[in-house]
Structure 1
Amino acid sequence: MCEGVRAAGDAAAAADVDVITSSGRRRIPAHSTVLASASPVLESILQHRLKKERDAAAAGGKVRRAVVRIRGVTDDAAAAFVRLLYAGSSGDEEEIDEKSAAQMLVLAHAYRVPWLKRRCEGAIGSRLTAESVVDTMQLAALCDAPQLHLRCTRLLAKEFKAVEKTEAWRFLQENDPWLELDILQRLHDADLRRRKWRRKRAEQGVYVELSEAMDCLSHICTEGCTEVGPVGRAPAAAPCPAYATACRGLQLLIRHFSRCHRTSCSRCQRMWQLLRLHAALCDLPDGHCNTPLCMQFRRKEEKAAAKAKAKAGDDDDKWGLLVKKVRVARAMSSLGKRRQMSCSQC
């Protein structure tokens, strides 16, 4: 017990800086080397203060500790700030108190301690509620905390109806309409980005389905599957892995196409489009593809491409874009299958 008290007294005696809180009632002994290494702002302050004290001592004055004042926060927050500076970024992560987290973020921003700033952002962000999100967003803007600002924006977008009913939002509407407009604009932009992303995902899903349909069409026309097969060869009795998802529906469409004689049949037009798409994607030499009308469509597309050099129509541009998108989807799908096979072999 006595040894612990003596060691604490020695450490306090070795300290060359006093950190004084806003109230002035608390004086925290500290070491200038620790504070300077933790914060470039404190380093600049301490260089000036220590030089001033050394000059005073050289002139015959009394030797005193340098003083650093931490203003604008409570005594407990200032003490916790100094304690965390001593622990450092590589030390044990001390839990930041909910009441002092906002003050700690301000101190970390003002004294340029990035690791503590990130930790405070995480502590505040994990406790965000609809009641506190407006004030927290303002704090994040003042302290240049992008991660915390992003969390606030996400919570606002998710629970905006609840945020509108809070006292903080009503106060914002009455006193800072420009910030209200900025928040609403950010939510609108986020909603537009979300809709655009969903639309692209839906479009990508269509291209993937067309890519799978092309694989099933080649499989049916080359090997056959349950009901439909190439000419002169019985279809395979066992269904393929894609039978339930794509192959069965495509076989029904092929059977309908072979029997239907209506000129305005929507199902037959869909089959014509699939055959045309296959021909645009097929890279087999002439005479080696078993898919019906493949060579006819390829020759027709070659003639159309030759005419399109002079003048291209909108339909041709859209069709070329569709072919390109499906080709990319096939390449990505085959790459994913290769990775799965390599992972299963490991």
Structure 2
Amino acid sequence: MASLDIDTPWICTSSESFDDSLNIHIEEVDPTDTLEALDNWKPVEHSSRNIPKPPPLPTKTSKTTKIQRCLPGSCSIPKETMGLWDTLFKEGHAADVQIITENKSIIPAHYSVLCVASPVLRNFLQQSKPRNGIRYIKIPGVPYDAIYVFVRFLYSSCYDDGEMKKFVLHLLVLSHSYSVPSLKKVCVKLLEEQWLNTENVIDVFQLARDCDAPRLSIACLRMIVKDFKTISLTEGWKVMRRANPRLEQELLESVVEADSRKQERLRKIEEKKIYLQLYEAMEALLHICKEGCRTIGPRDKVLKGSQVSCNFPACKGIETLVRHFANCNKRVRPGGCSQCKRMWQLLELHSRMCSEPDHCKVPLCRHFKMKMPQHSRKDEAKWKLLVSKVISAKHAWGPFMIKPSAFS
């Protein structure tokens, strides 16, 4: 072969010579001539002077572009290519496998495509013996149309939406049996988003467990727990109860457990609300005793009147409680008054949360601090737990608090 002259233009000026250069044809080659040419072949020696130096390697500080990061995981298949594989399947050109369906219909296929698309089919085809150059596979128990959609997906990953919805359960079984995860993912997504209802959820749940589809199983279980009363009256539940009583017991336990978690969650929410109300009460009490509010407050403050709005939500209730506590005659008697007891507990809770009792303007703050060592260990533990719960509720509420904490 002649070497290319560097000074010669790439495109020839003569149209005839350019046309002659594209005169490509296939000829039959003698194998002996090929072997002789290989035996006589010698590597061509090049002078190192003419070889340009390679560019320097990229340094660690070089930035990788967004396109370079996306290349390893990118995949763009033109529609023409998918259509080509779809046509290959539909026309069955040079097919060397025949798939026999339940009604003895035949779907032609190709050995290489099936082996690449499904490891299960590959193992089966490799062990089978061809007859007249054709291998045979029989898939019983599945309608012809469902197998047709399945094999078409193996070729081009294409499917018709109507056919997919019609045979989605059969296709889920086929994708699991023949290990086609891409088709299995499509079936699971369709069942989750468009197919599940109270009438078929039990059947789909059992099929999802058999086909090892955990995502679909969880979706079915959530629906069963959410609408158990309706689903337990369906025909699917009755059939499942007769055929698989162990599964029924498992579902009942799941429903009971979910209900218990719901009740516990609601209890914790209500508990947090109570602790948050206690914290708001502490804020309002400190606000009244330190700054004053409307018509109640310390003597050294000039109040602005009842028409002024207050930013503390618990202030109105604490104001009523303080006025009652100041004028009630039962608070010092045995048994006392329930409202006064509540006020007494709020004052003690404030003292346990206050970090400056010597300068605090809340009544009895320093008094309760001095009496703390006299409490029993049991009472002291209860108070410490209450204080920690109130502070935790405040921190959980975070930026939604109206006023920053004065006790942290």
Q: Same fold judged by TM-score > 0.5? A: yes
Kindly report which structure 2 residues correspond to 1:268-283, keeping only aligned pairs within 5 A, or say none.
268-283=340-355
Distance in 1 between residues matched to 2:264 and 2:184, nearest whole Å: 33
Distance 1:141 1:52, change over 3 A: closer
Aligned partners of 2:353 and 2:294: how far apart in 1? 25
Instruction: Output the amino acid matched with 1:266.
Output: S
Query: Helix, strand or coil: the match of 1:98?
Result: helix
Cα deviation code 1:25-73 (max 9, x no counterpart): 131435746863x5xxx235426635878xx8xxxx9655x65555542
The residue number in structure 2 matching 1:150 is 218
Work out whether 1:79 is the aligned partner of 2:148. yes
Call closer, same or farther: CA 1:47–1:276 in 2, change over 3 Å.
Answer: same
CA shift, 1:16, in A, is 6.7
Structure 1 counterpart of 2:396, which letter? M
More divergent stretch after superposition (115-124 vs 17-26): 17-26
Q: Deviations over 1:252-281 (max 9, x none)?
A: 111111221213111111111112222222
More helix by percentage? 1
Does the Cα contact within 8 Å between 2:107 and 2:148 map onto a contact in 1? Answer: no
| C-alpha distance in 2 between matches for 1:252 and 1:108 | 70
| In 1, Cα distance between equivalents of 2:175 and 2:190 | 13
Deviation at 1:205, TM superposition (A): 1.4
User: TM-score, normalized by length of structure 2?
Assistant: 0.65
Aligned partner (choices 94, 101, 110) of residue 168 of structure 2? 101
CA–CA separation in structure 2 for the residues paired with 1:17 and 1:168: 39
Q: Is the 8 A contact 2:290 2:361 kept in 1?
A: yes
> What amino acid maps onto 2:370 in structure 1?
R
Is 1:239 aligned with 2:318?
no
SS at match of 2:109: strand
CA contact (8 A) 1:18 1:28 kept: yes
Identity, in percent, stands at: 36
Change (3 A) 1:93 1:100: closer
Per the alignment, in what secondary structure is the counterpart of residue 27 of structure 1?
Answer: strand
In structure 2, distance between residues paired with 1:31 and 1:240:
81
Give the match's secondary structure for 1:317.
helix
Instruction: Tell me, yes or no, if the aligned pair for 2:120 and 2:179 is still in contact at 8 Å.
Output: no
Displacement after TM superposition at 1:22 (Å): 4.5
Note closer, same or farther for the CA distance 1:287–1:179 as it changes in structure 2 (3 Å cut): same
Identify the residue that residue 208 of structure 1 maps to in structure 2. Answer: 276
Separation (CA, whole Å) in 2 of partners of 1:290 and 1:34: 85
2:384 matches 1:320:
yes
Number of the residue aligned with 1:258: 326
Aligned with residue 334 of structure 1, among 376, 379, 398 = 398
- 1:26-105 to 2 correspondences below 5 Å: 26-30=106-110, 32=112, 36=116, 42-43=118-119, 45-46=121-122, 49=125, 63-64=133-134, 70-86=139-155, 97-105=164-172
When structure 1 is superposed on structure 2, of 193-202 and 159-168 the one drifting more is 159-168
Distance 1:235 1:86 in 2: 84
Name the structure 2 match of 1:293. Answer: 364
Q: Give the alignment partner of residue 120 of structure 1, picking from 173, 179, 187.
A: 187
Aligned ranges for residues 214-233 of structure 1 at < 5 Å? 214-233=282-301
Deviations 1:137-184 (A, max 9, x none): 221221233333333333333433333433333333333322222222
Which amino acid is 1:179 matched to?
Answer: L
- Residues 278 and 178 of structure 1, relative CA distance in 2, 3 Å threshold: same
Determine which structure has greater relative contact order: mean sequence separation of CA pairs < 8 Å that are 6+ residues apart, divided by chain length.
Answer: 1
For 1:207-251, what per-residue CA distance to the aligned partner results, in whole angstroms no more than 9, with x for missing partners?
Answer: 122222222222222222213223311335422233xx4221111
Q: 1:159 aligns with which of 218, 227, 249?
A: 227
User: Residue type of the partner of 1:194?
Assistant: K
Which among 83, 87, 95 is matched to residue 8 of structure 1? 87
CA contact (8 A) 1:211 1:327 kept: yes
Pairwise CA distance, 1:24: 4.4
Closer/same/farther in 2, CA of residues 324 and 67 from structure 1, 3 Å limit: farther
> Retained in 1: the 8 A contact 2:95–2:109?
yes
Cα distance between partner residues in 2 of 1:233 and 1:256: 21
Q: CA deviation at 1:324?
A: 0.9
Q: Is the 8 A contact 2:278 2:390 kept in 1?
A: yes
Aligned residues: 311
Relative to structure 1, the CA distance from residue 18 to residue 219 in structure 2 (aligned partners, 3 Å threshold; closer, same or farther) is farther
Tell me the SS of whatever aligns to 1:207: helix
Distance in 1, Cα, partners of 2:320 & 2:211: 63
Alignment partners' CA distance in 1, 2:122 and 2:371: 82
Question: Take 2:278 and 2:223, find their aligned partners in 1: how far apart are those partners?
Answer: 37
CA shift, 1:327, in A, is 0.7
Q: Distance in 1 between matches of 2:154 and 2:364?
A: 76
